[in-house]
């Protein structure tokens, strides 16, 4: 399959079942909502070392938030319910509770309940108060700028982490500019985030390493400088490879994001130095989800 001069590899992205949640952070203005959301989603690129994968889904207008203030929708993913609950407590406690004027609410109506204010309320040292509105419980925790408002319980759902595609280009700049274009379009979608810096990752990995202490190591088959030293997947034209990783609340949302991103890269095409699209997988042995590039783009 060739689209606008870009060869689409006959391969698939292998993704994993995860647990995911949407949380709504609000504040006095958009700047402070983003300050809190950026802090909460920091150091959350890969569960390999971060414990969670997270990102900002979108900025919300006051008309879209529970308390009528500017807000930000955040998605957070982890490999298990237990780990997700731990990450929520730590990240909300350290990054939202601490942020001036902030409040936080559940962003999903369905799914398994997880504690939010139910545990964070104890910071109030007995001075916290609760109120039930329309069947939902909220906590008001006294803090030095007034009160921290937090919903008692949020909801988590089965989700997908690790959808991906690789952009193979003549040069580093061409690969990066193509990925930037893809990310701009992908961020217009809901239910997905691209958790790596700017949505793009250069250090794609394979399972295992020559060093026993490491569970993952550099994807040498796609490293241009290792063409003569390993079993390379690259011909002499390819000067750089970059990867976009997608986490989503549903299987369909990950697939849609991959399609939107890959089509945007193909618009740039061979004239812009883009040679191939490929994907990272583990032979289909580890992940529960397989996203075949040609099927998505046909």
Q: What are phi and psi of 263, to 5 degrees?
A: -65, -35
Give me the domain span that covers residue 182: 2-14+161-297
**Those residues with Cβ within 8 angstroms of residue 139's Cβ, 6 or more apart along the chain or in another chain:** 117, 118, 120, 121, 124, 128, 129, 130, 149, 150, 151, 152
Element (H, E) at 183: helix 172-186
The b/e string for 42-61 (b: 16+ C-beta within 10 A; e otherwise) is eebbbbeeebbbbbbbeebe
Same domain, 145 and 174: no
CA dist 276 to 5, 148, 270, Å? 9, 50, 9
Same domain, 133 and 91: yes
DSSP 244-264: EEEEESSHHHHHHHHHHHHHH
Q: What is the tens place of the pLDDT at every residue in 75-120?
A: 999 999 999 999 999 999 999 999 999 999 999 999 999 999 999 9
- Provide the CATH number for the domain around residue 114: 3.30.70.520
CB 116 within 8 A of CB 151: yes
pLDDT the model gives residue 282: 84
User: Which residue(s) pair with 103 in the sheet?
Assistant: 26, 149
Same domain, 38 and 140: yes
Same domain, 148 and 165: no
CA dist 282 to 15, 74, 243, Å? 10, 29, 15
CB-hemisphere CA count at 13 Å for 204?
A: 26
CB 56 within 8 A of CB 41: yes
pLDDT the model gives residue 155: 98
Same domain, 90 and 212: no
Dmax over Cα atoms in the chain, in whole Å?
67
Same domain, 29 and 125: yes
Q: How does the average pLDDT of the chain come out, rounded?
A: 97
Q: How confident is the model at residue 63 (pLDDT cuts 50, 70, 90)?
A: very high
CA dist 28 to 1, 41, 71, 72, Å? 51, 20, 9, 12
- For residue 285, pLDDT over 90 is answered with no
Same domain, 114 and 197: no
pLDDT the model gives residue 284: 83
Q: How confident is the model at residue 215 (pLDDT cuts 50, 70, 90)?
A: confident
What is the distance between the alpha carbons of residues 268 and 264, in angstroms, rounded to a whole number?
A: 7
Same domain, 229 and 120: no
> And the tokens for 210?
């020559």
User: What is the number of domains present in the chain?
Assistant: 2
- For residue 286, pLDDT over 90 is answered with no
Dihedral sign of CA atoms 26, 84, 156, 200 in order: positive
- For residue 207, pLDDT over 90 is answered with no
Q: What are phi and psi of 276, to 5 degrees?
A: -145, 160
- For residue 274, pLDDT over 90 is answered with yes
Q: What is the tens place of the pLDDT at every residue in 1-44?
A: 999 999 999 999 999 999 999 999 999 999 999 999 999 999 99
pLDDT the model gives residue 8: 98
pLDDT the model gives residue 161: 97
């Amino acid at each position: 399959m060739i689209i606008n001069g870009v060869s689409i590899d006959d391969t698939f992205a292998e993704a994993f079942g995860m647990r995911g949640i949407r949380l709504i952070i609000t504040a006095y203005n958009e700047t402070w909502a983003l300050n809190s959301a950026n802090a909460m989603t920091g150091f959350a690129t890969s569960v390999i070392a971060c414990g969670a994968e997270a990102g900002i889904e979108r900025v919300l207008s006051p008309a879209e938030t529970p308390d009528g203030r500017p807000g930000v929708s955040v998605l957070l993913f982890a490999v298990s319910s237990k780990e997700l609950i731990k990450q929520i407590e730590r990240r909300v406690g350290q990054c939202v509770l601490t942020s001036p004027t902030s409040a936080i609410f559940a962003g999903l109506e369905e799914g398994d309940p997880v504690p939010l204010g139910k545990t964070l309320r104890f910071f109030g040292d007995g001075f916290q108060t609760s109120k039930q509105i329309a069947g939902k419980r909220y906590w008001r925790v006294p803090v030095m700028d007034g009160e921290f408002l937090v919903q008692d319980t949020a909801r988590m759902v089965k989700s997908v982490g690790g959808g991906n595609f690789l952009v193979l280009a003549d040069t580093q700049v061409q690969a990066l500019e193509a990925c930037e274009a893809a990310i701009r379009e992908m961020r217009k979608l809901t239910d997905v985030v691209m958790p790596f810096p700017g949505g793009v990752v250069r250090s794609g990995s394979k399972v295992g390493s020559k060093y026993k202490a490491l569970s993952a190591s550099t994807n040498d088959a796609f490293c241009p400088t290792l063409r003569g030293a390993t079993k390379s997947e690259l011909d002499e034209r390819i000067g750089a490879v970059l990867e976009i990783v997608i986490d989503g609340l549903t299987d369909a949302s990950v697939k849609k994001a991959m399609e939107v991103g890959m089509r945007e890269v193909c618009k740039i095409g061979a004239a812009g130095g883009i040679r191939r699209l490929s994907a990272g997988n583990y032979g289909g042995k580890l992940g529960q989800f397989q996203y075949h590039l040609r099927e998505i783009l046909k």
